[in-house]
Every structure is written in C-alpha cells, then in structure tokens.
Structure 1
Amino acid sequence: MTQWLPGMRITAARLNDQAGLWTSYTPTWAATGGGGVLGTGGVIAGSWTRIGRSITARVALTFGTGANAGSGFWTFTLPVAAAAVATGQAGLGIGMATNAGVAINLGVAYVSGGATDVSVFSDGAGAPWGANRPFTWGIGDNVTILAVYEAAT
C-alpha cells in the first residue's frame, strides 16, 4: 500500500487497493513426497483480497474419481508472498477437512514469515495435513483454508 502524500491523484488502482475486492487465483497444491493427483472432476480454486498489506486468502480443494493424496504433507501456494517477520508467524487462519459423509476436522492454517505457501496443522500433530492426516482422503473429500497474513510488499 502506498502512503498518501500531498498532490497525489485518486486512481482506480489506488481505490482498488483500499476496497478489498476479491480476486480469483489458482493455487498450486503439492505433496512433499510427490504423487498428488486431484482425479477426474477434482478441483482446486482460490481467491484473495488485499487491504493495504493485509491479505486474506481462501483455498478450496475437492478430490475427484481416481484421486491420489500423494505422500508426505501438503502445501498450497499463496497469491502474494508473506512478509518476513522477526518472530512468530506472518499469518494464521483456519482449515476445514471434510471426509465426505463421515466427519469434519478443523485445524490451524499456518503461514510462516517469508513463505509463499500455507499448511494446516491439527490435533497436536507435529506435521501438517497430508496424505493420511487428518484422515485417509477419497472421492468427494475436500479441504478449505482461510488464512490472513501480512504481505511482503
């Protein structure tokens, strides 16, 4: 966000920077051990908004037929890189994993300082959600993440 100075003119870009309009983006989903496949009918989508240097990002993934959750833990790319922070996290949020027709699990979305991706942790686990966490993924299962963080620029 640019600081307003005497003599600056109002432009569409400056107004949009303040308005918090939602913009679509396509996040990249990665399994650290590889092998992740959305399957036929599987989708991943994202949207985000910015007010100053505050970013709110939303990611949704649904597995289709023939999906493979891969191995290892998962990361999802953010629309804008997070700020490098001296201590703590650049941002936090919530994750919801839906085991279709069975259960819903909640977790904490974690954006580390300087990161370009987000992961979700739950149940005191030392590793983020992934191939078998918080459950074994299958057709129709989905994950939704909402994270708020400080942008690098």
Structure 2
Amino acid sequence: MTLHTPLWMQVASGDTPVQYSAQDDRLLLTSLWQTEGVTAGGLQVSQRAAGANFSVDIAPGQAVITGDDMAGQGSYLVRSDAVENLPIPAPPASGSRTHRVVAQVRDKLYNGTWTGYDWALMVLEDTGSGTPPVPGSAYSLATVTVTAGDASVTNANILDTRFNALSQPGRARLTGSDAERPAVPLPFEEIARTDKGCTEIFIDGAWREVPRRDGGGSAWTSYTPALTATTTNPSLGVGSTRSGRYIREGRRVTVQVVCRFGSSGINVGSGFYEIALPVAARVTSPGRVTGTGYCYDDSGADYRDGGCFINTGVSDKVRISIDSVVVRNNAPFTWASNDEFGFTLVYEAAS
C-alpha cells in the first residue's frame, strides 16, 4: 500500500518542493465528478450553421472524460473554445449508415497507439457493420444517420447522446425554468427549481416534481380521460367536456375526473360506463379499490353522491356507483344536456 502525498502541500522556504503527477490532478477530478459527461450543455453536435452539407458543427464547451485505457487513469477535463466542423461520410448507395461523433483523450502514457498528449473530436464511421462502439477514454456526443438519397446532414439526422457530468452528492443544480433543464438528463438526475420552490427528478423519461411537506411544487397534471361503455361507447355530444387531473407521489396516485354532456348530438351508448385512468393501477384480487363519485341531473337540479371503484382484476379504468347502481346509459337517470358525472380516487400505481 502506498500513502500518497496529500494535494497540495506547500513546503517551507528551503525545503525541496513536493512533486505532483498529472494523475494526482485527474484523480481529484474523479473524486469531484460522479459521472463523465459534458458541463453546462456544451459540445452539442448540430447541422452546419453556414449551410447544411455533409458535415456537422460541434459547439464550444467542456466535458469530463473517464480515462479507461488503464486502471487508475483518472478523469480528464477537456475544453473547446470555438465551433469545430467535422465531415460526415457520404450516404451509401442503398440503406443507411449511423456514424458516431466522439470526444477522445489521446494520452500516449496510457495508450501506445497515440503519439502525443491531447484530445480530439472525431467521427467514427459506420462502414456497414453498425454504429461503432465508444472507444477507450472517449465520450459519445451524438450519432449521425445518413440514408441513401440524402442531400445533406440536418438536425433531423442527429441524435444527441450527451449527458451532463454529475458532481458528487451535494446541492442540486439551480434551474429557473423548464427551458433551463438539462437537454439530455440522466435517469434520476435532480435539479432545484428556483421558480417553483421544489426539486425535480428525471424518472421514466419525464421530469417529476418532488413536493415539500409545507407546500410548494407538485402541480397537478391534466389529462383527457377516455370514456367507454361495456357494450356501445357513448358520445357526450356537442360542447361536452371530459376533464381530468392527477398527482403522483411515489406509487400513490390521486385523480379527479369530470365528464359533462353537451347541448346536442348526444348518444348515451349502452352498458356500464368506464373512465380511463391516467396511470395504470396495481391489479387487486380479490377486492376493489374504491373512492367517491357523483352524478348531476341538470334538468332537475338533482345532485347525487356515491362511490367509484376499480374492479377486481382491472388496472386501467373506473366505474361509478350511485345509490347502489353502477352508472350506465340509462342509470341512475336518463342522460341529457349538461348532465355530468365524476369521481375522486386515490390508488396504487402498477409501477
């Protein structure tokens, strides 16, 4: 075991200066960054700004790249201060090719392939065997797919593969709007929303707010619930509304729905009415998941409350029950203009 000299020791006058290796500095970067990636969204690959052709522009920026030619190599911080343009191979005679754009560290000390000590932006060509893998001590910035007949490379051909380099646990990155979120976030990446007073976590391809116990954050999400029936689907008519909203905290989902008939063109369908959930529920068997429901007869100004339930073995829809009768085309009364029904339900999501 070797006890390495701590960073950075300054010796007293007359003593021999302490020597540090570049590896010491790279291991410092490794201790500061949890993952490799770009910083502040830099090094984005896009179509040539001076006019689309078979080349791409790479924006200025920085990236943290893990050296993996040898064990203990550490992390490199690379930087570009100007737009770089790289040629893209012309499309094949038929089919398509997907090339990879990478930033690669070329450190001769750890890889004898290289002749110096630098880094480069380069295009790894798909010669017909598929997209090239990411080589050692390199980081993938994008893939570029060209197809026979393409006249140039545009942004539609480019798939961004960058992620933000995440620092070791600490304060989440401060973000003041949706537009300031990371362009390509990592799963479970966290940001702090200064405009909402909450944090957001990237889960299952979407940013999700984390609520505070004393309020703030976690706005409800709107959705339009599908309305069907067990025999013939109804049509609520002209001017009708189907509005829903929900909030999810972990696997707990709270949902509210209102369905209101229009003024004309109503078709009540036939069979029990079923309203779609915004998030699939955990299937229960036996037993039903229950909540509250209501109906309103506009012509008689008659409000009736009741319940709602997810049936045994069902995960995606709700039925409403009023006065022990499941709501259907002719119950609990004959549906007409401006009548409505709805429910509130709390349930466990399937995943």
Per-residue CA deviation, residues 47-69 of structure 1 (Å, 9 max, x unaligned), is 10011111111111111112121
Q: Do residues 123 (structure 1) and 323 (structure 2) align? A: yes
- C-alpha separation between the residues in 2 aligned to 1:136 and 1:94? 21
State TM-score, norm by structure 1.
0.84
* Corresponding residue number in structure 1 for 2:28: none
Contact 1:109 1:145 in 2 (8 A): yes
Instruction: Report percent identity of matched pairs.
Output: 33
Matched, 1:85 2:289: no
Q: 1:115 is paired with a residue of what secondary structure?
A: coil
Q: Name the SS of the counterpart of 1:13 in structure 2.
A: strand
Deviation beyond 3 Å, 4+ runs, structure 1: 7-11, 17-20
In the TM superposition, residue 88 of structure 1 has moved relative to its aligned partner by: 2.0
Counterpart Cα distance in 2 of 1:130 and 1:52: 33
Structure 1 residue runs of 5 or longer lacking an equivalent are: 1-6
Which deviates further from its counterpart, 102-111 or 112-121? 112-121
Unaligned runs of 5+ residues in structure 2 are 1-168, 170-187, 192-199, 203-207, 212-216
Query: What does 1:113-152 correspond to in 2, within 5 Å?
Result: 113-125=313-325, 128-152=326-350
Specify the structure having the higher radius of gyration (Cα).
Answer: 2
- Preserved contact between residue 92 and residue 109 of structure 1 (Cα < 8 Å): yes
Q: In the TM superposition, what whole-angstrom CA distance separates every residue of 1:78-131 from its partner, at most 9, and x where no partner exists?
A: 001111234422x32111100004111112110235410010113223xx2011
Contact 2:309/2:319 (CA < 8 Å) preserved in 1? yes
Are 1:95 and 2:269 counterparts?
A: no
Q: Which of 39-48 and 116-125 deviates more?
A: 116-125
SS of 2:201's equivalent? helix
8 Å CA contact 1:17, 1:52 repeated in 2: no
Report the equivalent of 1:3. none
Q: Is the 8 A contact 2:293 2:307 kept in 1?
A: yes
Q: Is the 8 A contact 2:227 2:233 kept in 1?
A: no
User: Which amino acid letter does the alignment assign opposite residue 270 of structure 2?
Assistant: S
- Give the structure, 1 or 2, with the largest relative contact order (CA under 8 Å, sep 6 or more): 1
CA distance in 2, matches of 1:87, 1:44: 30
**Aligned residue pair count:** 145
Structure 2: distance between partners of 1:132 and 1:109: 17
CA distance in 1, matches of 2:335, 2:314: 30
Residues of 1 paired with 2:189 and 2:245: CA distance? 29
Deviates most, 31-40 or 42-51? 31-40
The CA RMSD over aligned residues, in Å, is 2.1
Q: Corresponding residue for 2:246?
A: 48
CA distance in 1 between counterparts of 2:330 and 2:345 reads 22
TM-score of the superposition, structure 2-length normalised? 0.39
Residue in structure 2 matched with residue 71 of structure 1 by the alignment: 270
